[in-house]
Amino acid sequence: MNSKNNLKQKIDNYVKETIEFNEIPGSAIAVIKNGKVIYENNYGKSSIEENTSINENSIFRLYSTTKLISAVAVFQLIEKDKLSLEDKISKYLDNLPKEWKEVKIKNLLTHSSGLPDIVKFEDIPYSMDENEKWKRLYKKAMEFEIGNHYSYNQTNYALLSKIIEKITGLSFDEYVMKNQFPKTKNGVIFSANSSEFITNRVVTYNFNFKTNKYERFNADHGKIHNSGSGLNITLKEFINWNERLDKNILLSVKTKNAMWSSFEFENKQDDFFYGWGIYETNKIKSIGFSGGYRTSFRKFIKNDLTIIFLSNGFKNYHIEDQIINHIAGIVDEKLIDNTLLTEEKITSAFYKNDFEKATQNFNIIKNQNPTRSFENTLNTIGYNLMSNTNLIDAIKIFELNIQENPNSANAYDSLAEAYFANGQLELSKKKYQKSFDLWSGNTNAKEMLNKIELMLKKQ
């Protein structure tokens, strides 16, 4: 077996193993190295009910990975001098609240606007008429001072699409298709409605731990969210889009460099490009974005490596970024991140095995890495289990974390939260008190202690 086939086999073995223990219904993966596709494969089912398989025509909804395409759309207008990062949004949009008028294009792209997030309000449901949504949102308070810090926000991209439409006279969808997918006839379509029938579109699933079955995700987020989460695309068309980006067909080198430069947040802590997230693998940075806990696109620019992961669901925990990091290490040894690999081994063991066997595995790994702390790893596993309604195992994980980190206020806080969710109020109160004793700045613990005290008095 030559090295090329060996590389493909290593990727394939890893992906199949990960898909199996996480019971991912269907996925598609591509790896592009030095401008050439060195790995491309489809796995599993596009529809569980109809027993159809993922193939080259399968269309995946990208969810928030769509924002990469939207960012490119903005910079295409910037390149044509029809838009500037420094433009205030009030230049293009009328009847804005006074507090919104100072927000600039750059703030929308970098999630530094401080605007109220349209998806966070119960009185602004997805099903509401779009004009009514904006009327209600305009009355909501700003979240923070413009430009202060990064806070992921769907309002930002909904506004960007309105601005693009105002400038071009085209719908957002039409503008993107014309300027980024001009020769595409099939395999790319905008729809933020998961219940809408689209030929060859893969069914999106959520796992129901009460019934122990996958259920269709049928939410209709509305056209207002097409720019933030509404692109549906085949793996092949995504590969082609990446090629056009790499060959400077979509944007010039100068414009791409401007897009891939850090925004200066006022807090001097956050790091984010203009519409592109920044990741790190073995201290090497990559850029891209992930969406819906199901899709991810990453470019390791210095390594001339791009990895695309598309899927339609997950059981135990979302693994889109984990898979990309692992594959990156298989392809390029400079990107092998032993810290991430170790965390992956610990995490997967607690889902593959019973608690006792997984704990034994953890102890072996811990002894092999005596200087490392696994507090955050265990904490994340515990919260994954909680979100999966597996409170008993979550409590076991949080208890193990306390054994390993007896002086951690956060570890006690997490265990207290799990006890509270499980209705064990006295134990929850005890652990919250311990957390507060370890860190008097834990306002959550203080609030929960007061809440539990009231609940116990009513019993």
Give pLDDT, residue 2: 54
- Cite the DSSP H helix spans in 169-213: 172-180
In the block, which residue shows the tokens 């311990």? 434
Per-residue pLDDT of the chain (459 residues; tens, 9 = 90+): 457 789 999 999 999 999 998 999 999 999 999 999 999 999 999 999 999 999 999 999 999 999 999 999 999 999 999 999 999 999 999 999 999 999 999 999 999 999 999 999 999 999 999 999 999 999 999 999 999 999 999 999 999 999 999 999 999 999 999 999 999 989 999 999 998 999 999 999 999 998 999 999 998 999 999 999 999 999 999 999 999 999 999 999 999 999 999 999 999 999 999 999 999 999 999 999 999 999 999 999 999 999 999 999 999 999 999 999 999 999 999 999 999 999 999 999 999 888 999 999 999 999 999 999 999 999 999 999 998 888 999 999 999 999 999 999 999 999 999 999 999 999 999 999 999 999 999 999 999 999 999 999 988
What are the strands of the beta sheet with 305-311, ordered from one edge? 52-53, 36-47, 26-33, 305-311, 295-300, 284-291, 277-281
Give pLDDT, residue 352: 87
- Report CA 246 to chain centroid distance, whole Å: 23
pTM for the full predicted model: 0.93
H/E stretch holding 52 reads strand 52-53
Q: What CA–CA distances, in Å, run from 196 to 55, 190, 201, 221, 223?
A: 20, 11, 9, 11, 12
Architecture per CATH, 3-68+172-335: 3-Layer(aba) Sandwich (3.40)
Backbone angles phi, psi at 46, to 5 degrees: -85, -25
Domain boundaries, the chain: 3-68+172-335, 88-162, 338-458
**Tokens at residue 453, please?**
């005290």
Architecture per CATH, 338-458: Alpha Horseshoe (1.25)
Give pLDDT, residue 1: 42
Contacts with 195 (C-beta within 8 Å, 6 or more apart), sequence order? 216, 218, 219, 220
